[in-house]
Amino acid sequence: MKIERVELIVVRMPLVSPFETSNTRVSELDKLLLKVYAPEGVVYAECTADARPFYSYETVGTAALILKEVLLPEILGKDLEGPAAYVKMTDRFRGHPMAKAALENALWVLSALEQGKPLAALLGGEKRSVASGVSVGIQDRAEDLVRVIGAYLEEGYRRVKIKIKPGKDLSIVQTVRKTYPSLPLMVDANGAYRLSDRALFEALDERDLMMIEQPLAPDDVVDHAKLQARIKTPLCLDESIKSPYFARVAAELGACRIINVKQGRVGGLSAAKEVHDVARANNMGVWCGGMLETGIGRAVNVALASLPNFVYPNDISASNRYWERDLVDPPFSLNADGTIDVPSGPGLGVTVDEKAVARVTLAREVIRL
Protein backbone atom coordinates (compact mmCIF):
# COMPACT_ATOMS: atom_id res chain seq x y z
CA MET A 1 0.00 0.00 0.00
CA LYS A 2 1.42 3.35 -1.07
CA ILE A 3 -0.37 6.69 -0.86
CA GLU A 4 0.49 8.78 -3.90
CA ARG A 5 -1.35 12.01 -3.09
CA VAL A 6 -4.14 13.36 -0.92
CA GLU A 7 -6.68 16.11 -1.50
CA LEU A 8 -7.71 18.05 1.60
CA ILE A 9 -11.26 19.27 0.99
CA VAL A 10 -13.13 21.66 3.27
CA VAL A 11 -16.91 21.53 2.85
CA ARG A 12 -19.73 23.48 4.51
CA MET A 13 -22.85 21.45 5.19
CA PRO A 14 -26.14 23.16 6.20
CA LEU A 15 -28.09 21.28 8.88
CA VAL A 16 -31.79 20.59 8.39
CA SER A 17 -32.35 22.26 11.78
CA PRO A 18 -30.05 23.98 14.32
CA PHE A 19 -28.35 21.75 16.88
CA GLU A 20 -27.63 23.05 20.39
CA THR A 21 -25.51 21.54 23.16
CA SER A 22 -24.44 22.97 26.52
CA ASN A 23 -21.65 24.96 24.88
CA THR A 24 -22.67 25.83 21.31
CA ARG A 25 -25.48 26.14 18.76
CA VAL A 26 -24.85 25.46 15.07
CA SER A 27 -26.92 25.64 11.90
CA GLU A 28 -24.15 24.60 9.49
CA LEU A 29 -20.94 22.63 9.84
CA ASP A 30 -17.54 22.85 8.23
CA LYS A 31 -16.02 19.44 7.57
CA LEU A 32 -12.58 18.30 6.47
CA LEU A 33 -12.58 15.46 3.95
CA LEU A 34 -9.59 13.51 2.66
CA LYS A 35 -9.54 12.11 -0.85
CA VAL A 36 -6.72 9.58 -0.88
CA TYR A 37 -5.12 8.20 -4.03
CA ALA A 38 -3.34 4.83 -3.95
CA PRO A 39 -2.75 1.95 -6.38
CA GLU A 40 -5.54 0.03 -4.62
CA GLY A 41 -8.02 2.77 -5.47
CA VAL A 42 -9.28 6.20 -4.49
CA VAL A 43 -11.02 6.48 -1.12
CA TYR A 44 -12.51 9.19 1.06
CA ALA A 45 -12.20 9.74 4.80
CA GLU A 46 -13.66 12.37 7.12
CA CYS A 47 -12.04 14.21 10.01
CA THR A 48 -14.37 14.63 12.99
CA ALA A 49 -12.95 17.99 14.12
CA ASP A 50 -15.30 20.98 14.29
CA ALA A 51 -14.69 24.47 12.97
CA ARG A 52 -14.29 25.78 16.55
CA PRO A 53 -12.70 24.15 19.63
CA PHE A 54 -15.84 23.42 21.62
CA TYR A 55 -15.73 19.62 21.85
CA SER A 56 -11.97 19.28 21.37
CA TYR A 57 -8.95 21.54 21.00
CA GLU A 58 -8.68 20.29 17.42
CA THR A 59 -10.40 22.20 14.63
CA VAL A 60 -10.77 21.83 10.88
CA GLY A 61 -7.89 24.28 10.49
CA THR A 62 -5.50 22.62 12.92
CA ALA A 63 -6.26 19.16 11.54
CA ALA A 64 -5.57 20.30 7.98
CA LEU A 65 -2.30 21.88 9.10
CA ILE A 66 -1.12 18.78 10.99
CA LEU A 67 -2.04 16.53 8.08
CA LYS A 68 -0.27 18.76 5.59
CA GLU A 69 2.91 19.51 7.55
CA VAL A 70 3.36 16.47 9.78
CA LEU A 71 1.38 13.32 9.03
CA LEU A 72 1.27 13.21 5.24
CA PRO A 73 5.00 13.94 4.76
CA GLU A 74 5.64 11.00 7.08
CA ILE A 75 3.91 8.46 4.84
CA LEU A 76 3.49 9.80 1.28
CA GLY A 77 5.17 7.56 -1.25
CA LYS A 78 6.23 4.97 1.33
CA ASP A 79 5.28 1.31 1.32
CA LEU A 80 2.85 0.68 4.18
CA GLU A 81 1.66 -2.68 5.41
CA GLY A 82 -1.59 -1.13 6.60
CA PRO A 83 -3.09 0.87 9.45
CA ALA A 84 -0.90 -0.74 12.12
CA ALA A 85 2.25 0.44 10.37
CA TYR A 86 0.84 3.96 10.12
CA VAL A 87 -0.02 4.01 13.82
CA LYS A 88 3.53 2.93 14.68
CA MET A 89 5.06 5.56 12.39
CA THR A 90 3.00 8.45 13.74
CA ASP A 91 2.83 7.49 17.40
CA ARG A 92 5.83 9.73 18.17
CA PHE A 93 3.76 12.80 17.29
CA ARG A 94 1.87 13.94 20.35
CA GLY A 95 -1.81 14.80 20.36
CA HIS A 96 -4.03 15.57 17.36
CA PRO A 97 -6.03 12.32 17.50
CA MET A 98 -8.72 13.52 15.07
CA ALA A 99 -6.18 14.41 12.40
CA LYS A 100 -4.42 11.08 12.92
CA ALA A 101 -7.72 9.19 12.84
CA ALA A 102 -8.83 10.67 9.51
CA LEU A 103 -5.76 9.36 7.72
CA GLU A 104 -5.86 6.03 9.53
CA ASN A 105 -9.51 5.61 8.48
CA ALA A 106 -8.45 5.97 4.85
CA LEU A 107 -5.85 3.24 5.31
CA TRP A 108 -8.44 0.91 6.85
CA VAL A 109 -10.75 1.53 3.90
CA LEU A 110 -7.90 0.94 1.44
CA SER A 111 -6.99 -2.31 3.22
CA ALA A 112 -10.60 -3.46 3.06
CA LEU A 113 -10.78 -2.52 -0.62
CA GLU A 114 -7.55 -4.37 -1.36
CA GLN A 115 -8.87 -7.51 0.34
CA GLY A 116 -12.32 -7.20 -1.20
CA LYS A 117 -13.96 -7.02 2.22
CA PRO A 118 -16.40 -4.62 3.85
CA LEU A 119 -14.73 -2.37 6.41
CA ALA A 120 -16.88 -3.93 9.15
CA ALA A 121 -15.58 -7.41 8.36
CA LEU A 122 -11.97 -6.23 8.42
CA LEU A 123 -12.54 -4.67 11.84
CA GLY A 124 -14.04 -7.89 13.17
CA GLY A 125 -17.65 -6.78 13.11
CA GLU A 126 -20.39 -9.38 13.48
CA LYS A 127 -23.65 -7.51 12.95
CA ARG A 128 -25.57 -6.90 9.73
CA SER A 129 -27.36 -3.93 11.25
CA VAL A 130 -26.80 -1.71 14.28
CA ALA A 131 -29.32 -0.25 16.73
CA SER A 132 -29.92 3.43 16.13
CA GLY A 133 -30.67 6.15 18.65
CA VAL A 134 -31.18 9.83 18.03
CA SER A 135 -29.58 12.83 19.71
CA VAL A 136 -31.84 15.84 20.23
CA GLY A 137 -30.34 19.25 20.87
CA ILE A 138 -31.52 21.76 23.45
CA GLN A 139 -34.84 23.33 22.48
CA ASP A 140 -36.28 26.72 23.45
CA ARG A 141 -39.24 25.17 25.27
CA ALA A 142 -39.98 21.79 26.82
CA GLU A 143 -43.06 21.52 24.62
CA ASP A 144 -40.85 21.86 21.54
CA LEU A 145 -38.59 19.09 22.80
CA VAL A 146 -41.56 16.77 23.40
CA ARG A 147 -42.84 17.45 19.88
CA VAL A 148 -39.43 16.79 18.29
CA ILE A 149 -39.01 13.56 20.26
CA GLY A 150 -42.46 12.40 19.18
CA ALA A 151 -41.54 12.86 15.53
CA TYR A 152 -38.38 10.77 15.93
CA LEU A 153 -40.25 8.03 17.75
CA GLU A 154 -42.69 7.84 14.86
CA GLU A 155 -39.73 7.30 12.55
CA GLY A 156 -38.69 4.31 14.66
CA TYR A 157 -35.65 5.38 16.66
CA ARG A 158 -35.00 3.03 19.58
CA ARG A 159 -33.47 5.46 22.06
CA VAL A 160 -33.53 9.23 22.59
CA LYS A 161 -30.67 11.29 23.99
CA ILE A 162 -31.41 14.85 25.06
CA LYS A 163 -28.82 17.52 25.72
CA ILE A 164 -28.96 19.33 29.05
CA LYS A 165 -27.23 22.34 30.59
CA PRO A 166 -27.64 24.36 33.80
CA GLY A 167 -31.14 25.84 33.79
CA LYS A 168 -32.40 23.33 31.25
CA ASP A 169 -32.09 20.00 32.97
CA LEU A 170 -34.33 18.47 35.64
CA SER A 171 -37.59 20.18 34.66
CA ILE A 172 -36.97 19.28 31.02
CA VAL A 173 -36.35 15.64 31.89
CA GLN A 174 -39.45 15.56 34.09
CA THR A 175 -41.60 16.86 31.23
CA VAL A 176 -40.21 14.33 28.77
CA ARG A 177 -40.54 11.47 31.23
CA LYS A 178 -44.13 12.42 32.06
CA THR A 179 -45.01 12.40 28.36
CA TYR A 180 -43.05 9.24 27.54
CA PRO A 181 -42.89 7.16 30.75
CA SER A 182 -41.37 4.06 29.11
CA LEU A 183 -39.07 5.77 26.59
CA PRO A 184 -35.44 4.57 26.62
CA LEU A 185 -34.05 7.99 27.56
CA MET A 186 -30.60 9.33 28.38
CA VAL A 187 -29.15 12.78 28.95
CA ASP A 188 -25.86 14.32 27.84
CA ALA A 189 -24.34 17.29 29.67
CA ASN A 190 -21.12 17.65 27.64
CA GLY A 191 -19.23 18.36 30.86
CA ALA A 192 -21.37 21.33 31.92
CA TYR A 193 -21.58 20.48 35.64
CA ARG A 194 -19.34 19.99 38.68
CA LEU A 195 -19.39 17.53 41.55
CA SER A 196 -20.98 20.26 43.69
CA ASP A 197 -24.08 19.80 41.49
CA ARG A 198 -24.56 16.25 42.76
CA ALA A 199 -28.02 17.08 44.15
CA LEU A 200 -29.21 17.54 40.57
CA PHE A 201 -27.91 14.11 39.58
CA GLU A 202 -29.45 12.53 42.65
CA ALA A 203 -32.77 13.99 41.47
CA LEU A 204 -32.18 12.75 37.91
CA ASP A 205 -31.45 9.37 39.46
CA GLU A 206 -35.19 9.03 40.11
CA ARG A 207 -36.16 9.53 36.43
CA ASP A 208 -35.36 6.02 35.17
CA LEU A 209 -32.64 7.10 32.72
CA MET A 210 -30.58 4.64 30.69
CA MET A 211 -27.47 6.66 31.47
CA ILE A 212 -26.12 10.13 32.18
CA GLU A 213 -23.40 11.02 29.70
CA GLN A 214 -20.37 13.14 30.60
CA PRO A 215 -21.92 15.15 33.44
CA LEU A 216 -18.59 16.59 34.66
CA ALA A 217 -15.58 18.14 32.94
CA PRO A 218 -13.37 15.87 30.79
CA ASP A 219 -10.49 15.94 33.28
CA ASP A 220 -12.69 15.09 36.29
CA VAL A 221 -12.30 11.32 36.14
CA VAL A 222 -11.89 11.04 39.92
CA ASP A 223 -14.97 13.19 40.52
CA HIS A 224 -16.94 11.03 38.09
CA ALA A 225 -16.01 8.05 40.25
CA LYS A 226 -17.29 9.89 43.34
CA LEU A 227 -20.53 10.77 41.57
CA GLN A 228 -21.07 7.26 40.22
CA ALA A 229 -20.74 5.90 43.75
CA ARG A 230 -23.64 8.11 44.88
CA ILE A 231 -26.20 7.28 42.19
CA LYS A 232 -27.63 4.10 40.67
CA THR A 233 -28.00 5.47 37.12
CA PRO A 234 -24.98 4.43 35.03
CA LEU A 235 -22.61 7.21 34.09
CA CYS A 236 -21.29 7.16 30.53
CA LEU A 237 -18.00 8.86 29.72
CA ASP A 238 -17.33 10.50 26.39
CA GLU A 239 -14.80 13.36 26.39
CA SER A 240 -12.92 11.84 29.34
CA ILE A 241 -11.98 8.70 27.37
CA LYS A 242 -9.15 10.15 25.31
CA SER A 243 -7.41 6.83 24.65
CA PRO A 244 -7.53 3.14 25.61
CA TYR A 245 -5.50 4.04 28.70
CA PHE A 246 -8.23 6.36 29.98
CA ALA A 247 -10.77 3.60 29.40
CA ARG A 248 -8.72 1.44 31.76
CA VAL A 249 -8.42 4.29 34.27
CA ALA A 250 -12.19 4.82 34.23
CA ALA A 251 -12.82 1.11 34.69
CA GLU A 252 -10.39 0.73 37.58
CA LEU A 253 -11.66 3.85 39.38
CA GLY A 254 -15.31 3.00 38.80
CA ALA A 255 -15.81 6.36 37.08
CA CYS A 256 -18.47 5.00 34.73
CA ARG A 257 -20.30 1.85 33.71
CA ILE A 258 -20.66 2.67 30.01
CA ILE A 259 -18.33 4.22 27.43
CA ASN A 260 -19.24 6.26 24.38
CA VAL A 261 -16.69 5.29 21.72
CA LYS A 262 -15.78 7.94 19.15
CA GLN A 263 -12.95 6.78 16.95
CA GLY A 264 -11.89 10.33 16.11
CA ARG A 265 -11.61 11.27 19.77
CA VAL A 266 -9.29 8.36 20.63
CA GLY A 267 -7.09 8.54 17.52
CA GLY A 268 -8.63 6.16 15.02
CA LEU A 269 -10.21 2.77 14.51
CA SER A 270 -7.28 0.83 15.98
CA ALA A 271 -7.55 2.70 19.27
CA ALA A 272 -11.36 2.49 19.19
CA LYS A 273 -11.12 -1.29 18.94
CA GLU A 274 -8.83 -1.26 21.99
CA VAL A 275 -11.33 0.83 23.96
CA HIS A 276 -14.02 -1.66 22.95
CA ASP A 277 -11.86 -4.53 24.21
CA VAL A 278 -10.91 -2.81 27.49
CA ALA A 279 -14.58 -2.11 28.21
CA ARG A 280 -15.56 -5.68 27.37
CA ALA A 281 -12.88 -7.07 29.68
CA ASN A 282 -14.30 -4.93 32.49
CA ASN A 283 -17.96 -5.86 31.85
CA MET A 284 -18.75 -2.40 30.52
CA GLY A 285 -20.92 -2.01 27.44
CA VAL A 286 -20.18 0.60 24.79
CA TRP A 287 -21.99 2.48 22.06
CA CYS A 288 -20.82 4.59 19.13
CA GLY A 289 -21.17 8.33 19.51
CA GLY A 290 -21.53 10.77 16.66
CA MET A 291 -19.94 14.06 15.65
CA LEU A 292 -22.65 15.00 13.15
CA GLU A 293 -20.69 13.23 10.43
CA THR A 294 -21.59 13.16 6.77
CA GLY A 295 -22.27 9.76 5.24
CA ILE A 296 -18.52 9.27 4.80
CA GLY A 297 -17.83 9.35 8.53
CA ARG A 298 -21.15 7.68 9.26
CA ALA A 299 -20.12 4.63 7.21
CA VAL A 300 -17.02 4.29 9.40
CA ASN A 301 -19.14 4.58 12.56
CA VAL A 302 -21.58 1.93 11.37
CA ALA A 303 -18.71 -0.46 10.64
CA LEU A 304 -17.22 0.18 14.08
CA ALA A 305 -20.60 -0.31 15.80
CA SER A 306 -20.86 -3.79 14.27
CA LEU A 307 -18.33 -5.04 16.84
CA PRO A 308 -19.92 -7.28 19.48
CA ASN A 309 -19.62 -5.11 22.61
CA PHE A 310 -21.59 -2.22 21.10
CA VAL A 311 -24.62 -3.29 23.11
CA TYR A 312 -26.45 0.05 23.43
CA PRO A 313 -28.21 1.99 20.65
CA ASN A 314 -25.74 4.23 18.86
CA ASP A 315 -25.82 7.89 17.90
CA ILE A 316 -25.94 6.73 14.28
CA SER A 317 -29.05 8.06 12.66
CA ALA A 318 -30.35 8.21 9.11
CA SER A 319 -28.79 10.75 6.76
CA ASN A 320 -31.96 12.86 6.73
CA ARG A 321 -31.62 13.48 10.49
CA TYR A 322 -28.98 16.12 9.72
CA TRP A 323 -28.68 16.63 5.96
CA GLU A 324 -31.09 17.44 3.16
CA ARG A 325 -28.54 15.88 0.83
CA ASP A 326 -25.81 13.61 2.14
CA LEU A 327 -22.48 13.07 0.40
CA VAL A 328 -22.91 9.32 -0.17
CA ASP A 329 -25.08 7.13 -2.35
CA PRO A 330 -27.18 5.51 -1.11
CA PRO A 331 -27.77 7.71 1.92
CA PHE A 332 -28.22 5.94 5.23
CA SER A 333 -31.83 5.15 6.12
CA LEU A 334 -33.59 3.86 9.22
CA ASN A 335 -35.13 0.41 9.08
CA ALA A 336 -38.59 -0.27 10.50
CA ASP A 337 -37.02 -1.98 13.52
CA GLY A 338 -34.93 1.07 14.41
CA THR A 339 -31.66 -0.15 12.95
CA ILE A 340 -29.19 1.01 10.30
CA ASP A 341 -27.81 -1.55 7.85
CA VAL A 342 -24.06 -2.20 7.87
CA PRO A 343 -22.70 -1.62 4.33
CA SER A 344 -21.77 -4.95 2.75
CA GLY A 345 -19.72 -3.75 -0.22
CA PRO A 346 -15.92 -3.75 -0.23
CA GLY A 347 -14.14 -0.87 1.46
CA LEU A 348 -16.35 1.89 2.80
CA GLY A 349 -19.36 0.15 1.27
CA VAL A 350 -21.00 3.33 -0.02
CA THR A 351 -20.22 5.53 -3.03
CA VAL A 352 -19.20 9.14 -2.46
CA ASP A 353 -21.28 11.52 -4.57
CA GLU A 354 -18.60 13.68 -6.20
CA LYS A 355 -21.12 16.23 -7.46
CA ALA A 356 -22.62 16.62 -3.99
CA VAL A 357 -19.12 17.17 -2.57
CA ALA A 358 -18.35 19.76 -5.22
CA ARG A 359 -21.53 21.72 -4.43
CA VAL A 360 -20.52 22.28 -0.80
CA THR A 361 -16.75 22.63 -1.22
CA LEU A 362 -15.14 25.76 0.21
CA ALA A 363 -11.49 24.92 -0.39
CA ARG A 364 -9.41 22.14 -1.90
CA GLU A 365 -5.66 21.53 -1.74
CA VAL A 366 -3.61 18.66 -3.20
CA ILE A 367 -0.73 17.31 -1.11
CA ARG A 368 1.86 15.21 -2.89
CA LEU A 369 5.54 14.39 -2.62
Catalytic residues: 163, 262
Residues 6+ apart with CB under 8 A from 138: 20, 21, 22, 25, 162, 163, 164, 165, 168
Contact 135, 163 (CB under 8 A): yes
Cα separation, 20 vs 107, in Å, equals 33
Cα→Cα distances 368→35, 86, 259, 346, 355, Å: 12, 17, 38, 26, 23
Contact 15, 50 (CB under 8 A): no
3-state SS, residue 232: coil
Cα separation, 73 vs 144, in Å, equals 49
The tally of CA atoms less than 13 A away on the side-chain side of residue 137 is 19
Contact 234, 256 (CB under 8 A): yes
Residues 6+ apart with CB under 8 A from 73: none
3-state SS, residue 53: coil
Query: DSSP E strands: which ranges in the chain?
Result: 5-20, 25-38, 41-47, 129-131, 133-136, 159-163, 185-188, 212-213, 235-237, 258-261, 285-288, 328-329, 339-341, 351-352, 361-368
